[in-house]
């Protein structure tokens, strides 16, 4: 079987402009031979951004509070519904509904807890900065960083000083055309 | 950003905003880019750049053959090409690594086959549309990351079944 041109990096997430934004763009990272492909997909169209390994200067992962906020919200609703169900245990209609709601919120809480703390990840090159929406959990970001770092360092080690910014376009003169 | 927080194995507090951060830096951050200036023509016998008559030609464009000075030379995928060929390649979608947008016709065809099934009656319109899209764009490139044609095949199969169902209903109705 022939090798695939791109290998998927761990992680996947949605890019949203606002909390209640209905148009969601799915983000994912793919490792190519000489570049990292950042794919933003709406389902019917795909947009791509390429970051050549030789150009990547740094990747910064910032821990966020989103994990804790969701834990409080989900567990709060689950506990509230659970307590309400206990209080209304004689009501044959309300009690099962509330137990079901509480169960689902506990389930979401458990999933959030299992996925671990959240983060925001940024990739920097000499001329650009990109937020990587596919890396939203620290565990996933660490996994992706580990794979990516070995590839970037391998590429940058072999690249000579003059090659560093030449992955795509090289203007060797400071003159303007 | 202070360098003491670079390349730590665990999160450290950002000196500025106190957010826990993990900063991974690579050699490109500290390396400087040395650029070779484009040389002016010294002798009349020397070849000049197609775009800059005063500059000495360094290489020929591997696509159109025009002489290029080091200012106009673009190293791309191991070759040397000029800006005009690069722009043309991008416009005609001949250079895969310059593509920044693709339409996923396979997903469109599959969605046209599946989503209208919610209403049932809509499939009489969407099934032929789905089949048309699937056949029209069967050879069109799908996702750049590599996909099979399974969505097209599924769209054709589902839409064909829907059309068969409608044909059967119509036959029963007319009979």
The DSSP string of A21-41 is: -S--EEEEEEE-SSEEEEEEE
Q: What is the pLDDT of residues B73-130, one digit of tens each?
A: 888 877 888 988 888 888 887 777 888 899 999 999 999 999 999 998 999 999 999 9
Alpha-carbon distance of A15 to B84, in angstroms, equals 34
B20 interaction partners in chain A (CB closer than 8 Å): 62-63
CA distance B67 to A139: 51
Are A155 and A35 a contacting pair, CB within 8 Å? no
Determine which helix (DSSP H) or strand (DSSP E) holds A152, and give its type and residue range.
helix A138-158
Taking CA atoms, what residue in A is nearest to B79? A168
From residue B155, how far is each of A151, B120, B165 by CA, in Å? Answer: 39, 16, 15
Task: Measure B10 CA to nearest chain A CA, in Å.
Answer: 10
**Cβ within 8 Å of residue B117, ≥6 positions away:** B123, B162
| Residues shown for chain A | 177
Nearest Cα residue to B23 out of B3, B43, B49: B3
Residue of A46, A55, A153 to mutate, testing the B interface (most B Cβ within 10 Å of its Cβ):
A46
Of the listed ranges B43-47, B128-132, B148-152, the one predicted with least confidence: B43-47
What pLDDT does A174 receive? 40
Shortest Cα distance, chain B CAs vs residue A98, angstroms: 29
For residue range A155-170, what is the model confidence (pLDDT) as tens digits?
888 765 445 444 444 4
**A43 and B27: CB-CB below 8 Å?**
no
**Cα nearest neighbour of A5 on chain B:** B145
Number of CB atoms found within 10 A of residue A164's CB: 21
Element (H, E) at A117: none
Which region holds residue B78: left if phi is over 0, alpha if psi is between -120 and 50, else beta? left
At B158 the pLDDT is 96
Mean pLDDT of A139-155: 92
Phi, then psi, of A7 in degrees rounded to 5: -115, 135
| Residue closest to A52 by CA, chosen among A170, A133, A171, A137 | A170
Compare CB distances from B32 to A62, A161, A173 and report the shortest one's residue: A161
Give the pTM.
0.81
Whether residues A63 and B73 touch (CB distance < 8 A) is answered with: no
DSSP string, B61-116: -TTT--EE-TTT-EEETTEEE-HHHHHHHHHTT--GGG--EEE-HHHHHHHHHHGG
Q: What is the mean pLDDT of residues A40-48?
A: 93
**Helix or strand or coil: residue B58?**
coil
CA Rg value for chain A: 22
Q: Which CATH architecture has domain B35-98?
A: 2-Layer Sandwich (3.30)
Rounded distance between C-alpha atoms, residue A41 and residue B52, angstroms = 42
Q: Which residue has the higher pLDDT, B56 or B77?
A: B56
What's the number of CA atoms in the CB half-sphere (13 Å) around residue A64? 17
Q: Enumerate the domain spans of chain B.
A: 1-32, 35-98, 105-170
DSSP code of B40?
B
What pLDDT shows up at residue A36? 94
The ipTM, to two decimals, is 0.80
* Mean pLDDT, rounded, for B12-28: 89
B87 touches chain A (CB under 8 A): no
A56: chain B residues, CB-CB within 8 Å: 26, 28
Burial category of A52 from C-beta neighbours within 10 Å (exposed 0-12, middle 13-18, buried 19 and up): buried
pLDDT at residue A136 above 70? yes
- Return the residue in B28, B59, B90, B137 with the most chain A beta carbons within 10 A, the one to mutate for interface testing: B28
The answer to whether the CB atoms of B37 and A174 lie below 8 A apart is yes
Interface test with chain A among B17, B18, B26, by most A beta carbons within 10 Å: B26
Collect all residues of chain B within an 8 Å Cβ-Cβ radius of residue A162: 33-36
Residues 146-175 of A with CB under 8 A from B: 149, 152-153, 156-157, 161-162, 164-166, 168-175
């Amino acid at each position: 079987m022939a090798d695939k041109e791109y290998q998927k990096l761990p992680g996947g997430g949605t890019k949203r402009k606002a909390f209640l934004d209905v148009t969601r763009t799915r983000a994912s990272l793919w490792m190519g031979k000489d570049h990292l492909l950042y794919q933003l997909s709406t389902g019917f169209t795909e947009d791509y951004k390429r970051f050549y390994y030789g150009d990547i200067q740094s990747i910064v992962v910032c821990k966020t509070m989103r994990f804790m906020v969701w834990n409080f919200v989900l567990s709060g609703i689950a506990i509230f519904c659970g307590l309400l169900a206990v209080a209304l245990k004689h009501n044959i209609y309300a009690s099962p509904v509330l137990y079901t709601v509480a169960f689902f919120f506990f389930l979401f809480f458990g999933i959030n807890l299992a996925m671990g703390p959240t983060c925001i990840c940024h990739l920097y090159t000499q001329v650009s900065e990109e937020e990587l929406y596919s890396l939203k959990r620290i565990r996933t970001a660490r996994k992706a960083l580990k794979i990516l770092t070995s590839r970037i360092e391998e590429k940058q080690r072999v690249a000579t000083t003059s090659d560093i910014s030449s992955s795509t376009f090289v203007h060797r003169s400071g003159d303007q055309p | 950003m202070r360098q003491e927080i670079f390349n730590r194995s665990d999160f450290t507090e950002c000196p500025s905003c106190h957010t826990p951060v993990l900063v991974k830096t690579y050699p490109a951050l500290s390396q400087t880019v040395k650029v070779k200036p484009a040389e002016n023509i010294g002798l009349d016998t020397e070849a000049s750049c197609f775009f800059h008559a005063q500059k000495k030609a360094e290489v020929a464009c591997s696509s159109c053959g025009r002489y290029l000075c080091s200012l106009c030379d673009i190293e791309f995928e191991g070759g040397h090409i000029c800006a005009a060929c690069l722009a043309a390649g991008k416009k005609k979608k001949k250079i895969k690594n310059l593509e920044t947008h693709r339409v996923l016709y396979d997903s469109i065809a599959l969605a046209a086959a599946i989503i209208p099934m919610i209403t049932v009656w809509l499939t009489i319109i969407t099934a032929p549309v789905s089949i048309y899209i699937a056949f029209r764009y069967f050879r069109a490139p799908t996702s750049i990351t590599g996909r099979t044609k399974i969505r097209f095949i599924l769209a054709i199969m589902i839409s064909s079944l829907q059309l068969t169902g409608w044909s059967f209903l119509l036959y029963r109705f007319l009979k």
